[in-house]
Structure 1
């Protein structure tokens, strides 16, 4: 049985660990694929693996950083349109993965320094939100898209699972 301190940690640590599990699964699902596979439209609307990662980076910046007064890096796309779900021909895989890494780091900085009851306001929405609410929302958002990514990865090359295996699965 796995032992993990987050099973009994403080609320913020548990929420942050949950978000990180889904974030890590998203990146793991990209491993070993080439550019064509990462960009291949997998739905009639054109959804692809790399586009979902770009979207997740964009919404992390919006919810965690913009909502709580942090500084967002200059974006090369309009986050209020479907441009955050698509990858243009001039955008590289590494650019998108690095963008997600920077968004995660900026979000983590906000999560680390602010209490769960901190209130913020997204600049695109006329509602006040707590950091707690945003953490739960982003766990949901990331898990939802990690599920999409899981299905798309299986369609690309048959790889399944929600995390990298460290031990062989039970054969019983």
Structure 2
């Protein structure tokens, strides 16, 4: 995914929500540009050893899948997710043996699938997945707002991690 521009200031709600999400998504790849495999998997936060660039990218890929496929569309989890009953709560972040390029490509593909999934859905569409069954269904509008928050928060993590790894900071492509 290439870095995108902010949505127009006077755009409609849908354009704003998806535009802001796409902007944050584009920062994920940008923050990983130029990292070696070693650095992409480097553990720089002693209290959060799963918080590596690779782990964050993998987490964001699965968050996209969880909100838009499992939650919104109600796609059943038939074992395709990294979580298992009784497994580690952050299982999607155990990716020491997965190349960063593969993780980024999987993330970009999941983001594209998310956008295709929601392209024709009204913002008031309610989830059909596990939370709906519990009476806790969220609207597509809520899911988009949450995904903006989730992605932006983790982009901030990537920004800090990247600075700790090699001093690269900010939101411009590293040279």
Q: TM-score range by the shorter chain?
A: 0.7 to 0.9
Match of 2:96 among 88, 94, 103: 88
Alignment partner of 1:104 is 2:106: no
- Structure 2 CA distance, aligned partners of 1:65 and 1:52? 19
Would the alpha carbon gap of residues 73 and 112 (structure 1) be closer, same or farther in structure 2, given more than 3 Å must change? farther
Q: How many residues align?
A: 162
Q: Name the residue aligned to 2:20.
A: 18
**CA-CA distance at 1:66 after TM superposition:** 1.7
Would the alpha carbon gap of residues 74 and 38 (structure 1) be closer, same or farther in structure 2, given more than 3 Å must change? same
Q: Name the residue aligned to 2:164.
A: 155
- Contact kept, 8 Å, 1:54 with 1:96, in 2: the verdict is yes
**CA-CA distance at 1:78 after TM superposition:** 1.9
Match of 1:65 among 59, 62, 69: 69
Match of 1:41 among 15, 22, 43: 43
Q: CA RMSD in A?
A: 2.4
Kindly provide the CA deviation profile for residues 36-66 of structure 1, in whole angstroms up to 9, marking residues without a partner as x: 0000012122110110000000010110122
Q: Name the residue aligned to 2:147.
A: 138
- Structure 2 CA distance, aligned partners of 1:93 and 1:15? 28
- Structure 2 CA distance, aligned partners of 1:33 and 1:73? 34
TM-score by length of 2: 0.82
**CA-CA distance at 1:109 after TM superposition:** 1.0
Instruction: Give the gaps of 5 or more residues in structure 1.
Output: 166-172
Match of 1:128 among 127, 137, 155: 137
**CA-CA distance at 1:131 after TM superposition:** 0.2
TM-score by length of 1: 0.84
- Contact kept, 8 Å, 1:57 with 1:100, in 2: the verdict is yes
Which SS does the other structure have where 1:129 is aligned? coil
